[in-house]
Structure formats: structure tokens, C-alpha cells
Amino acid sequence: METRPLGQSGLHVSVLTFGTLTFGGEGDRADRVGSVGVTEARTMIDLCLEAGVNLFDTADGYSDGRSEEILGAALAGRRHDVLVATKVFFRNGALTNDIGLSRHHIIRSCEASLRRLNTDYIDLYQAHNFDAITPLEETLSAFDALIQSGKVRYIGCSNYGGWQLMKALAISDRDRYTRYVSQQVYYSLIGRELEFELVPLGVDQGVGILVWGPLAQGFLTGKYRRETGISGQGRYAFRGEPPIHIPEAQAYDIVDALDAIAEERGVSISQVALNWLLNKRGVTSLVFGARTLDQLRDNLNAAAWRLSADELTRLDAVSAPPIPYPYWHQRKYASERNPFSY
């Protein structure tokens, strides 16, 4: 499988990253999201390694920590063959300070993640969201201390806005803290908002892009159709998240276009949706999910072939998002000086 450098770091990651949100669900969560246990996780990791995946993504909040525990157990004996990414931010206790990106919460959460993952280092430690209450200086110095101590090797952020990420990078440069090497962001054929700020920022600043929800949590797999709407057992039917911010008719036009290309090519709709993203500017790797072994096998094949220029143009056209200000203005009046303004 192709690998790409993670931002401006020396680390190369596979273009597909396996996300472990489906690990460890119990009760209601098992039905909604998934309940992959250690044995199945081991098989999933075998398949990923065979296909060339070298990065595995989890978070302390997934299944209340069970996802990290299962990933750690399933990696026993081969921890050093792979890269492990996890995250911190969300509430993991009842106390006031059991949330966010304070030095207190980051360091405690990191220690807990290391224990659950059964490892002594995290390859990529990510801020799971933006904390407007903690000064970025405090967050970045806490991450830097973890890097200096050897417990963390690289840091990234997730779900930051453009100015928030730019401010963090500027502080890191000014105060000589390690920079975020990557941003983990939602990007799919029905969610292209980030093309206006976060992608150009990532390209300009050398921050890698790890895409979460590349199948729009199942919406882009062919199981939801215009005729039947959003129903059934899939995760998207439970939460409807990420929300569809484009007209619903357009979302189903996108599914139709995927369907047509999938049929012409003899591949699955999911593979076409993933392959389109592999061709987008600034993208480093797709953090995809799978509830079952069949879904995993299907998705792993997405990196084994390439959409043609004509197919990419068809998908770009059907999924074109509205252009927000000031980018429509730059496009209309200043495109000669702003060829990559979005």
C-alpha cells in the first residue's frame, strides 16, 4: 500500500488507517456502533497488516476506554511493527477537571491511555477537539513535555477550526514547542466544507490530513438510498451524523454517481467513495471504520486501484459544495492571484 509522509514529519503512514471506534461496544453501543472483541480485532489487524496498513487510530473515549484496551491486547507481540494514534479531550470522569486540554487532564489521560494500550509510548497523540478555556500555551507545553519524556512521539489535533489551528502552530513556533504534525478532520463526498480553510491551511503549513468518517459513517456505502431513506441497522440510521449539510437530493445524486462508477468498475460503492478521497489535495490517510470482517476486506481494496481523471471530475461535479464568503469573492475577482485559495 502507498505510504505518505505525515505532514512535515519524518514518519510515513499508509494511505489507509484503521479506526477502532467499532471496538468494545457493550449493550446499546454494541448495536449502534459495534462490539468487536479481542479475537476479531486480532484478525482485523492481521488483514490490515497484510494489506500494508501501518497506522491504527483510537481514542480514550471510544467504548469508555475498551477500544484502547482491545487494540493494545490485539497488538500484543507486534506493537513495534505498527503506529498507534489515540486522543485526549473528552470527559473521562465526573470531576471538574476530567475534560479538556489542561496540563492536568492531558498528562493524567496520557498515563491512563498508555496503561490501557499496554505500551510505553504513543506514536501520535491527538487533541480530540478545541478547548477554548485552556490557553493553547498550556496545552502545547503539556504535549511538549510528553514528547520530551518519550511517552509521545508526535502530536496532532482534531476538529479544530482554521484560526484555532493556525494560532496553535504560531504559538508552537514562537515558544519552540513541537508542532502539530497532523489534523484529523471530517471529509467525505457529502462533507467538503474543509476544502475552503482546513485543506489550504494544511497544505500551506505542512500539516498532514487524516480523514475521519470517509464513508460518512456508512451513508456512502450504498445501504441508504433515495427510495428507502435512512433506515435499517447501520450506524448512520441511529445518529444521522455527520449531518448532511448539502441538499438531501444532492446527497442521493452522489450515491447514484458512486453506484454508476462502482458498477462500471466492478468494485463496491464504498471503495469508490474512499478512492475519491485518496486523490484529494492535502490528504495523507483515510481513517476508515468497519464493523465486520467483510466490510474491512472491502475497504482495504480501496487503495489497490485508482479512479480515472474523468471519474474524479464526475464525482467532483455532483458533490460540489456551495462556496462560502470570502472564497466566492476571491474566485470571482481575484483568481489570478489566488489559484489555491480553496
Ligand X SMILES: NC(=O)c1ccc[n+]([C@@H]2O[C@H](COP(=O)([O-])OP(=O)(O)OC[C@H]3O[C@@H](n4cnc5c(N)ncnc54)[C@H](OP(=O)(O)O)[C@@H]3O)[C@@H](O)[C@H]2O)c1
Does the protein bind ligand X through residue 162 (CB under 6 A)? no
CB of 199 to ligand X, least distance (A): 16
Q: Are strands 3-5 and 12-14 parallel, antiparallel or unpaired?
A: antiparallel
- Annotated catalytic, 62? yes
b vs e for 71-88, b when ≥16 Cβ sit within 10 Å of the residue's Cβ? bbbbbeeeeeebbbbbbb
Among 92, 140, 147, 145, smallest CA distance to 121 is for: 147
Which span sits near ligand X by CB under 6 A: 91-99, 105-113, 213-221, 317-325? 213-221
Quick one: DSSP state of residue 178?
Answer: P
> With binding defined as CB under 6 A, does residue 291 bind ligand X?
yes
- Residue 225, all three cell numbers: 438510498
Which of 62, 160, 186, 342 is an active site residue? Answer: 62
Selected from 86, 119, 183, 184, the binder of ligand X by CB under 6 A is 184
CB of 341 to ligand X, least distance (A): 26
- Determine the residue with CB nearest ligand X: 19
Q: Tell me how far, at minimum, the Cβ of 326 lies from ligand X, in Å.
A: 27
Q: Which residue of 20, 134, 183, 275 would you call a contact of ligand X, by CB under 6 A?
A: 20
Touching ligand X, residues 50-79 (CB under 6 A): 57
Least Å distance between CB 195 and ligand X?
18
200 binds ligand X (CB under 6 A): no
Number of chain positions touching ligand X (CB under 6 A): 31
Is the bond preceding 326 in cis, omega lying within 30 degrees of 0? yes
Shortest separation between residue 103's beta carbon and ligand X, angstroms: 22
| Burial class of 42 by CB neighbour count within 10 A (0 to 12, 13 to 18, 19+) | middle
**By the rule CB under 6 A, 289 interacts with ligand X:** yes
**Cβ-contact 129, 89 below 8 angstroms:** yes
Asked if residue 290 binds ligand X (CB under 6 A), the reply is: yes
At CA 296, angle to CA 72 and CA 14, rounded to 5?
70
Task: Using the minimum distance from each CB to ligand X, give the nearer residue, 24 or 200.
Answer: 24
Please give the residues from 262 up to 281 whose contact with ligand X meets the rule CB under 6 A: 268, 270
Name the grid cell of 275: 478512492
Q: How far is CA 58 from CA 24, 68, 73, 196, in A?
A: 11, 6, 13, 27
Residue type, 44: M
CB of 270 to ligand X, least distance (A): 4
Q: Is 202 in the site for ligand X (CB under 6 A)?
A: no
Does residue 212 interact with ligand X by CB under 6 A? yes
Asked whether 118 and 50 are in contact (CB, 8 A), the reply is: no
Q: Which residue has the cell 468487536?
A: 36
Among 295, 307, 315, 342, binds ligand X (CB under 6 A): 295
Which burial class, exposed, middle or buried, applies to 264 when counting CB atoms under 10 A from its CB (0-12, 13-18, 19+)? exposed
Q: Report the candidate in 55, 89, 247, 217 with the shortest Cα–Cα distance to residue 159.
A: 89
Regarding 159 and contact with ligand X (CB under 6 A), the answer is yes
Q: Which residues are catalytic?
A: 62
Q: Which residues would be at the binding site for ligand X (CB under 6 A)?
A: 19-22, 34, 57, 128, 158-159, 184, 212-218, 221, 223, 234-235, 268, 270, 287-291, 295, 298-299
